[in-house]
A and B are shown apart, each in its own frame.
Chain A
Amino acid sequence: MKGKKWLLSIVVVVCCIALLGLSPAMGAKSKFDPSKMGDMSDLDLSNPVIPTGDTIKIAIVASFSGPAAAVGDIYFASVQSVAHDYNKRGGILVDGKKKLVQVIKANHESKVPIAKKVSERMVLQEKVDVLWGTNGSHLMKVINQVADKYKTIAVSAAAVSDELYDAQNFSRYSFMTSISTSQVGRGMAYYYGQVRKKETKFYILCQDYLFGHSIAGGFKAGLKEYYPDAELVGEDYHKLFLTDFAPYLTKVKAAGAEVVYTGDWIPDAANLLVQARQMGLDLPFANLFINNPPFLQQVGIEGTDGLVHIGQIGSDGKAFKTEGQIKYYKAWNDQYPKWKKPFDTTTYEHGTGTIGAYRMQTYWLLDVIERAGSTDPEKIIKVWENDTWEDVNGTVYKMRGIDHKTERDLFIELYVPPEQQKESMNIEPYYWFKDCSNTGPSYKLPADKVTPVMDPKLKDIRKGS
C-alpha cells in the first residue's frame, strides 16, 4: 500500500510538472487551424469575390485615397483573404444561419470628420457588424466613439495607441487586437537593455500626433524599466506626411545617436529611411513599420542591413516549423503571381509581417464570432473578453477583459542580407527578398515582459458597469 502511495505521489508530481511546463498555446480556448482552411486556389485580391445580401459585414475604415492610400489596400488585402477563406468553407453559422463574410471599404481619407461620417454611414446605412480600423489613433478614436454610440463591435487592428483604451476613451464595444504603443516601446527597450546590451545612445523621432507621442512614451518608460543606463540624446516629433526629413536627420547626426527609435509608418517611414541613407546616416532604425518591401528595395541591401523591427507576429528563429505554417503561407504566396495592381508589388508577396498580423487578427475576430454563434455585439463581447486564441505560429493572444487589450509575445527581427535570411526563411528560396535586407535572426520577447499598460482607473469604472 505504502509503495502504491509513493507511486501515486510521483505520478501526481510528474503530472503537475507537465501541466506547468505546457506552453500557454495548449491552454488557449481556441486556435487557428490551417487544416480547416478553405480552398484558396482562387484567391485573387485584384478581382475579389465579395458576397452581398444577408452577410456578416466588416467595414474596413481606412485611407483609400490621399498620401496613405496604400495602407487601405494593405488592410483590404489582409481582411479580404480571411473572408475568402471563411466563405470557401461555407461561411459562419450565426443566429441559426450560415452567413458569408462581406468586406466593405470605407474611406476616411485620413480626416477626422470624414472618419466619423463614414463610420456612421457604415453602421446606419450598410448595417455592418464590425468596424475594422485603422491607420491613425486619432481616427480610431472616432471609430470607437461611433461603435460605442451605436453599440457596434469595433476592432483596432492597426491603431496602436494605449490611450485609446484608457479610462477616458474605453468602449466595451471596441477590442484592441493589435499590439499597443507601450508594448512596442517596452519591447524595444527590453531587447536593447536585456538582450543586446550594446548601444546606449538613442534618439526618438516620431510623428507628431497621439500615436507618435504614445509610442515614444512607451519607449521612454521601457528604458527606465529595462535599460536605465541608456541615454536619450534627442527627441523630435515631425508633422504627418513630412516632405523633407533632412533637418531632423542632421540633428540626429549631431546628437551622436547610435540608434534611432521611430514609430513612423508609410509614407513617412519610407521617406525617413531613404533620406537618411542618402545623407550618409547609416544608423540602425528601431522601428515598427519600416518593413514595407518596395521602399526597402529602393534603399537596397546595404542600406537596410541592421534595421531592427519589432513585430506582433513571428517566430523565435525559423519561420516554418510545421506543415500547417507552410500550408498557410502557400495559400497566399502561391496565388500572389496572378494578382494585378495594386496587389502585384512585393508588399503582397509573402502575406507575412504586418499583413500577416492583420490576417491573424481577422481570423481571431471571425473565430470569436463563430464561437459566439451570433453577430450580436453582447454575445461577441462575452466570448471575446478574457478569450485566449492561438495563431498559426503558436503564439497565444489573450484579450484582457478589463481594458480589451491583447497580451502576447512580441518578436524582434534583425534585418540581414539575403544570404543570411535563411535563418528565418527556411523553405525555398531561402530568402524573403533578394534585393534588400530582411528578417534573419529573430528573438521572442515574452508576453509577461511586454504587457500593455492598463489604466488603473478602468478597474473602478468597469466594476461599476
Chain B
Amino acid sequence: MDPVTAMYVAQGMHGLAYGMILFLLASGLTLIFGMMGILNLAHATFFMLSAYLCYQVIAWTGSFWLALLIAPIVTGIIGVLLERFLLRKVHAFGHIGELILTVGVSLVILESVKVFWGTESLPVQIPNVLQGLVTAGGLDYPIYRLFIIGLSLVILIVLMLILYKTRLGMVVRAAVSDADMVDALGINVPLVFMLVFGVGTWMAGVAGVAIAPILTVFPGLADQVGMDAFIVVVVGGFGSLGGALLVAIICGLLNSYGVQFVSQLAPVLMYIFMAIVLVFKPMGLFGERE
C-alpha cells in the first residue's frame, strides 16, 4: 500500500473507531428513549462516571480487564437504582419532570466526581497486551483502537442476538412498540423498563472505560462526547439501534475524512449532516412518527 492510500485507510479506521465509541454511547441513550420515552440527559454523565470508576479499579487492582468488567456493571447498577427509585416516581408527572430529574442527577454526579477525584485529568494506561501498533500492508494502526472496534462489534452482535433471537428481546421490542399492550399481557413492564435502563447505562459505562485510555479522565468528558452522541440519536431516529449504528459510523467517517480534506469545516460537518437529514426526515433516518 502506498503512503497516500495508507493515510486514507488510516483515516477510515479512525472514523470507524470513533464511530463505534459513539455507537456504544448512543445505543444506550436511544434504547432508553425508544422503550421508555425518557430522554436521559444524565446518560453522558454515566459515561464519564464509568471512566472514573475504571481509573479507580485500576488504581486498586492494577487490572484494566477488571475495570472493563466492574466499572460498567457498577454504572449499570447506579442506572437501575436511578430508574427504580427516582425516575419511576416522577414518571407520572410527564417528560418535563424526567428531564429535570436527569439533569439534576447529571449535576450531582458531576460534582461528586470532583469531590472524590478532583478536577484534573487522571491517567488510564492501555493494558500491555493492547499497546503498540499493528503493521499490515504499509499501514501502522494502534492495537487499542482495533480493540475498541472489535469490542463494540461484539456488544452490537450480542445485543442484536438478545433483541431478535430471545424471548426477552421480543418482550423489549414489544414494549417499545406498545408498552400498555405488553402490560396487559401480564408482563412486568416496570421490571423490563428497569432492565433496559440498566443495560443502557451499562453500555455508556463500557464506552466510558473504552475511551478512558485515549482521552484521559476528567470532569469534562461528558461534555466532550455527549453532544456527538446526542446527534447520533437524533439523526438515527429515537429508539433505532440500527439508525444509531449507521449514523455513528457516518459521523465518525465525516469527522476523520473531514479533517483530511476540508479541515476547517470538519467540526461542523456533523451538524450540516444533521441539518440535511432532519430537513428531509424530521424524525431521523429510522425514526417513526408517533
Contacts and interface: CB of A to CB of B under 8 A. Distances in A.
B122 A294 contact: yes
Interface residues of A, number: 43
B52 interface: no
A270 B216 contact: yes
Kindly list the 10 A-B residue pairs having the minimum CB-CB distance in the complex, ordered from nearest.
A67-B220, A298-B123, A342-B118, A247-B259, A239-B267, A247-B256, A246-B14, A69-B119, A70-B119, A341-B118
Contacts of A73: 118-120
Interface in A229-244: 236-239, 241-244
B161 interface: no
B216 A298 contact: yes
Contact of B224 (A237, A241, A279, A344): A241
Contact of A342 (B119, B213, B259, B266): B119
A374 interface: no
Interface string A82-98: 00000000000000000
A253 B14 CA distance: 14
A401 B221 CA distance: 42
Interface string A366-390: 0000000000000000000000000
Contacts of B132: 280
Interface string A66-77: 111110110000
Interface stretch (B61-69, B78-86, B138-146): B138-146
A250 interface: yes
B7 A250 contact: yes
A70 B18 CA distance: 25
Given A239-B267, A254-B3, A294-B123, A68 B118 contact: no
A297 interface: yes
A246 B145 contact: yes
B225 interface: yes
A332 B11 CA distance: 46
5 contacts: A66-B219, A208-B267, A236-B259, A294-B123, A298-B125
A67 B218 CA distance: 7
Contacts of A72: 119
Interface of B: 3-4, 7, 10-11, 14-15, 17-18, 110, 114-126, 132-133, 140, 142, 144-145, 213-216, 218-221, 223-225, 228, 255-260, 263-264, 266-267
Nearest to B225: A243
Contacts of A297: 123
B255 A244 contact: yes
Contacts of A247: 11, 14-15, 255-260, 266
Nearest to A73: B119
- Chain A CB count within 10 A is highest, among B114, B115, B221, B257, for B114
Contacts of A227: none
Interface string A327-349: 00000000000000110110100
Nearest to B116: A341
Nearest to A293: B120
Contacts of B263: 236-237, 251
Contacts of B255: 244, 247
A426 B144 CA distance: 39
A342 B114 contact: yes
Contact of A243 (B140, B142, B228): B228
Nearest to A68: B220
Contacts of B7: 250-251, 253-254
Contacts of A271: 214-216
A267 interface: yes
Contact of A341 (B117, B126, B144, B221): B117
Contacts of A270: 121, 216
A295 interface: yes
A248 interface: yes
B120 A345 contact: yes
Nearest to A275: B214
Given A243-B228, A278-B142, A298-B121, 16 more contacts: A65-B219, A66-B223, A236-B263, A239-B266, A243-B18, A243-B225, A244-B17, A250-B7, A251-B259, A251-B260, A251-B263, A267-B224, A270-B216, A279-B140, A341-B117, A341-B118
A274 interface: yes
B130 to A, nearest CB: 10
Contacts of B225: 243
